[in-house]
Amino acid sequence: MEIKKITDAAFRKYGRVVKGVDFTELVEALKKTPDYEGVAYEPSVPELEATAAMKELQKVTYGELPIQIGYCNGVNYKLNAVEYHRNSEINVAATDAVLILGMQQEYFTKEGIRTFFESPYEISGQSDRMGYRLEGEPVSYEDTVDIISDAIVPGAIQIPSNGKPIILMTDRQTTGGYAKIGAVISADLPRLAQMGPGAVIHFKEVSVEEAQELFAKERKEMIKQNRRMNRWL
């Protein structure tokens, strides 16, 4: 196994290093959390959420949305906790850690990925609040797109065996067993939800950093509009 630094160029397609936030107080608070022989996860810890990093992360990274700060402590000896994240989680390491990252795009051929980004797709009549089924050029894959069921986030784009993309929407199931070629960014989900059968869409690849910046910008604009509306009420 080749271990690389998180700042290595190989990590750019998976995420980014958060800058402009002082994690010093948070890291010191993390060092005081319990240690375990196995692995323990606490999603929300008041002592961690009382640090200055809480408000800084809300402002810099999450567009002022409410967030939680918790911990995952211990030592894991098995690869039995692989998760699917779109970009909502930030990992702050109080000690040395090894991250094993992968993308489900590796299930698809280079030609299939090219087809996905270069072809127009039409929202079919067999679409609802659970998912938008798309008609267009099928996306080719390697051996199979069947995977062990994992978490489904809003906007996740599954590719079933027929190669026709499905965008999972608000009333989606919580898990799914098809490989995901990508996900619609949070900033575009409201616009997509307003499109109906017959609408034609194109996909454009953006980085995690670009997606976060667009979401933060959209969120700030919504807050401004709400404030304007409240003045008139």
Sorted by sequence, the CB contacts under 8 Å of residue 98 that are 6+ apart come out as: 3
Give 194's Cβ-side CA count (13 Å radius).
3
Q: Which of 128, 211, 204 is nearest to 169 (CA)?
A: 128
Give 134's Cβ-side CA count (13 Å radius).
27
* Rounded mean pLDDT, 132-148: 94
* Rounded mean pLDDT, 11-17: 78
Q: What percent of the chain has pLDDT over 70?
A: 94
Report pLDDT digits (tens) over 182-212: 999 989 999 999 999 999 999 999 887 788 8
DSSP symbol at 178:
E
Q: Is the dihedral of CA 19, 21, 24, 27 positive or negative?
A: negative
Q: What percent of the chain has pLDDT over 90?
A: 50
Give the helix/strand (H/E) hosting 231. helix 208-232
Give me the chain's average pLDDT, please.
88
